[in-house]
Amino acid sequence: MLSRLLFFLSLLFSLSVVAFEHEENEHFPLGVRSGDPTDSGVVFWTRVNPQKCTGSDPVSLEVSKDKSFGSPVIKESLQVDPLNDYTLHVDLNGRLEADTVYFFRFVHNGVTSRTGRTKTLPQRDQERPIKLAVLTCQDYSTGYFNAHQILGDMAERGELDLAFFDGDFTYEYSSYDSSAAKIIRPMTFPSRSPSAMTAEDFRFLYQNYLSDPQLQYSLSSMPFVVIPDDHEVADNQFWDRERNQAGIPGKRYKFLSPLEKSRLMLDSRKAWVNYTPARIQVNPITDNPQKFVKLYRSFRLGKMADFFVTDSRSYRDGEHVDADDPKKTMLGHEQLDWFRHQLAHSDAHWRLWGNQTMFSRFVAYGEHLDIIPDGLVNTDQWNGFRAERAMLKQQLDDSNIHNLLILTGDMHTSLVSQVKPFDQPDAPDHLAVEFMTPSITSPNMKDEIGFIGNFDRIMDLIRYYLKDQNHHLAHFNSEIHGFAILTLNADEVIWDVYSVPTRERLEKPEATHVLQVKYRDEKLHIIFDLT
């Protein structure tokens, strides 16, 4: 009799848990997030299901030091606004304690969201190591977000302080635009277009991505600093300074008028602002997408680092402007001045730069010592902005700055590079170190070259050839997907790269530790490289 009673009680408990989770998912289908941490606050985020709203519904945010919420430290009353697409942003900067783990949840009409976990940064001069996850490029259609499941587990175990997503959080494609890409989970936009073309399409993108349970888990487990690159709008998007309008190349957009291209960029930026917890400056009354939001910003990671995050898309000139034009800019004059000032006035152990596209010189053929660019690869990167790159290198040299670490994404490649002085690609000294993280899912070189990429010998030859043409590369691999972890110590940094499978969603995915690099006393040490 007792066994039957226990069976029915356990069954009732299981059904109540399922019902609770179902109700939670119905009211908060995109989960909860936090972002842009400081030593006294974090930005909290969620979206309420519009179908569960009856106007300007009240929503409460609860923040607690314990997961049971026995004594919440914050209870904030909020209002859902349809003009923000039912998203909520709550910035508690100045109201939380430094270097502290907090749990948070939202409540709407008696229904509680999932519980999120976040963490504030150390105080400005606090000396302790920082662990930062670095991610980039997660096309939805070409793989599953197993890396986020692993990162969520790491954060829940207290192994990470925060994460930096270095561009291409979403892709504008319904299916990745490459004939060699293996499409696993295609999408269909409301407009039925192969690329996002309307405000509704861009909102759909975020709703679709954020519905992924593995991504939700990661985003709810630690604070993220996020910056867009081009694919949040369109591939190789730029700003046409002469016409003061958005530039979007590519055959899918050739029929759009200049006004329509600017409108598309504005729609994309509005979706990003609504669906990202970030402490940014927004001008809601402008129709100019370049002036709508200021995305570049900085963070103080205790005494370990000053972290500068730049925006490489809103102000950059297009590829139609000659790479040697001294007026050509990637960052724009205002942002460039801000960045140079930040570089000059840092007193932390490390200067950390969140930069989307490869800063180091990169060639595919030619002689190393040629000043004239020899087979420069991808002028959408800093290769196409040589005067501005030279200016920044000169500042590093003149100011005797030797602690700059550059975090880069974009290339879907794991890469470590020594940034050499201007016009000296084989110089024995270097000005900075660039760490590039592999893509979460987006096709890498191995994926893009089709069946040829299945031959290890061919991939080895490509890697050896590129390293031979670019002596400043300490590591190059474009065969894996995954993420990196940067550990900042006062006298040493450690860069760890992990490979993660993407072809199917795994309940308990495992990461393979494939690379460890240590940087100390201005010297790179490859501890191991299994790629």
* Per-residue exposure over 153-186, b if at least 16 CB sit within 10 Å of its own CB, e if not: bbbeeeebbbbbbbbbbbbbbbbbbbeebeebee
Q: Check residues 368 and 234 and name the one with the higher pLDDT.
A: 234
pLDDT in tens, 67-78: 999 999 999 999
What's the alpha-carbon Rg for the chain, to the nearest Å? 23
CA distance 190 to 278: 27
Average pLDDT of the chain? 92
CA distance 435 to 128: 22
In this predicted structure, the answer to whether residue 425 has a pLDDT above a threshold of 80 is no
Tokens of 156: 């829940």
Q: In this structure, what DSSP letter does residue 229 have? A: -
pLDDT at position 468: 87
Mean pLDDT of 381-385: 94
Binning pLDDT at 50, 70 and 90, where does residue 2 land? very low
In this predicted structure, the answer to whether residue 235 has a pLDDT above a threshold of 80 is yes
Which among 411, 431, 441, 446 is positioned nearest to 504, based on CA atoms? Answer: 441
pLDDT at position 367: 47
In this predicted structure, the answer to whether residue 191 has a pLDDT above a threshold of 80 is yes
Please state, for a pLDDT cut of 90, what percent of the chain lies above it: 82
CA distance 340 to 496: 28
pLDDT in tens, 492-504: 999 999 999 999 9
pLDDT at position 1: 52
CA distance 517 to 354: 19
pLDDT at position 240: 94
CA distance 4 to 9: 9
| 98 three-state secondary structure | coil
Q: Check residues 6 and 176 and name the one with the higher pLDDT.
A: 176
Secondary structure element (H or E) that encloses residue 338, with its range: helix 333-344
**Residue type for position 282:** V
CA distance 337 to 331: 9
CB contact set of 117 (below 8 Å; sequence gap of 6+): 101, 102, 103, 104, 155, 156, 220, 221, 222
CA distance 331 to 208: 31
CB contact set of 227 (below 8 Å; sequence gap of 6+): 165, 166, 167, 295, 296, 309, 310, 311, 354, 356
Angle between helices 386-398 and 333-344 (to 10 degrees): 20
CB contact set of 121 (below 8 Å; sequence gap of 6+): 37, 38, 39, 98, 99, 161, 162, 299, 300, 301, 302
Which residues is 435 bridged to in the sheet? 407, 416
